[in-house]
Amino acid sequence: MSSPDSSCRSVISSMKRIVVKVGTSSLTYDNGKMNLRFMDHLVRQLSDLKNRGFQVILVTSGAIGIGFPELGFKEKPTYLPYKQASAAVGQGLLMNIYEHLFCEYGHVVGQLLFTKGDAVNSKRYLHMHGTLLSLLELGAIPIINENDAVTADEIKIGDNDTLSAIVASIAEADLLIILSDIEGLYDSDPRKNKNARLIHQVPVFSRDIFRMAGGAGSSQGTGGMYTKIQAAEICVHSGIDMVIAKSTLPEVLERIMDGEDVGTWFKGENVHPQLKKRDIIIGTAVKGKIFVDEGCRSAILNKGSSLLPVGILDTEGDFAEGDTVAVFCGSDEVARGITHYSRVDIDLIKGLHTEQLKGALGAEPPYDTVIHRDNLLVMK
């Protein structure tokens, strides 16, 4: 941890892909009604960042907090089915406002609802990764929330801070910004200690930082500083920078992206891109093998290529789309990755060029690659 040094933050302005997380306490008043002035300010900032050339992903809380007063509750219910009902109502209201506001500023949005389980299931991870990158490529702004209406364990944890870090990791983001009702990480609880000192930079993450985190935050939200530190730990070890800042600061997002010493900045570790995939790919069971020729082996190892059908010689094992498989050249394991195709389909298209896939499959192929390079971990 260190004192402010604006020169260090100058690297932020050169980043490209940004995830911004906003909590319920920022989106709503104490009575659960939407804070439309804040939402307009947030959307305008995000739209302007996109206009500047940044790729923007929004992770939003608020579905339960917005939904429960609409169902006649005076305060957030504790009964789980009532929470889920509140989320079902609130999510539609929330997205309606986001869609309207972003449209006013000339941007298209896409809604994704998922859970932390989507990040550890290789098939769902594969689809989430592909959907996120496709939305960004096509110029849309992804808006992500937990699927609170049907997922009980995520509601109990109440942890969109951690979810935002997982999204940042899946999207291979450069920076996660968590907007909160507090300015950043303090050396003690500022609500109890008027002399608490704001920590501007955390250049090296340590587990000791958790001792500075308190309990839950506002009455409407469920996450506190502790969950934000958990998010920082995920980001830092994934090579992603993270900033915690107060959501109500004027032009807070622009100021962060311009390198100002706003909030607390956690510096991501210098992680090799291949290692970011290790937990996803190595952490899942290998369901089969794909054997490739020498040309394919060389392309994967020396050129960073995806695995294409033309280089495949044979397959082994019983695996489906979304499973993790090992890639071999002879007896030498070259890589591991998440496959787009089942063994049955690979046996139909192995050795074929892209233009031949439709004829072999009898339909338009969903992917040109068997394993995309983003989902391929080189083992050499």
Pair of tokens at residue 114: 């998922």
Do the annotations mark residue 47 as ligand-binding? no
The number of beta carbons lying within 10 Å of the beta carbon of residue 183 is 16
Do the annotations mark residue 227 as ligand-binding? yes
Q: How far apart are CA 294 and CA 65, in angstroms?
A: 57
Do the annotations mark residue 347 as ligand-binding? no
Do the annotations mark residue 374 as ligand-binding? no
Asked whether 320 and 355 are in contact (CB, 8 A), the reply is no
Q: Pairing mode, if any, of strands 376-378 and 332-338?
A: antiparallel
Do the annotations mark residue 288 as ligand-binding? no
Do the annotations mark residue 61 as ligand-binding? yes
Please report how the helices 122-137 and 160-170 are oriented relative to each other, as an axis angle in degrees rounded to 10: 70
Residues whose CB is less than 8 angstroms from the CB of residue 72 and which lie 6 or more positions away in sequence, other chains included: none
Do the annotations mark residue 82 as ligand-binding? no
Do the annotations mark residue 50 as ligand-binding? no
The number of beta carbons lying within 10 Å of the beta carbon of residue 111 is 15
Minimal CA–CA distance to 68: which of 219, 202, 191?
219
Do the annotations mark residue 51 as ligand-binding? no
Do the annotations mark residue 131 as ligand-binding? no
Looking at the chain, how many residues does it have? 380
Do the annotations mark residue 15 as ligand-binding? no
Do the annotations mark residue 238 as ligand-binding? no
Do the annotations mark residue 160 as ligand-binding? yes
Binding residues for ATP: 21, 180-181, 222-228
Query: Which segments are annotated as binding site?
Result: 21, 61, 148, 160, 180-181, 222-228
- Binding-site annotation, residues for substrate: 61, 148, 160
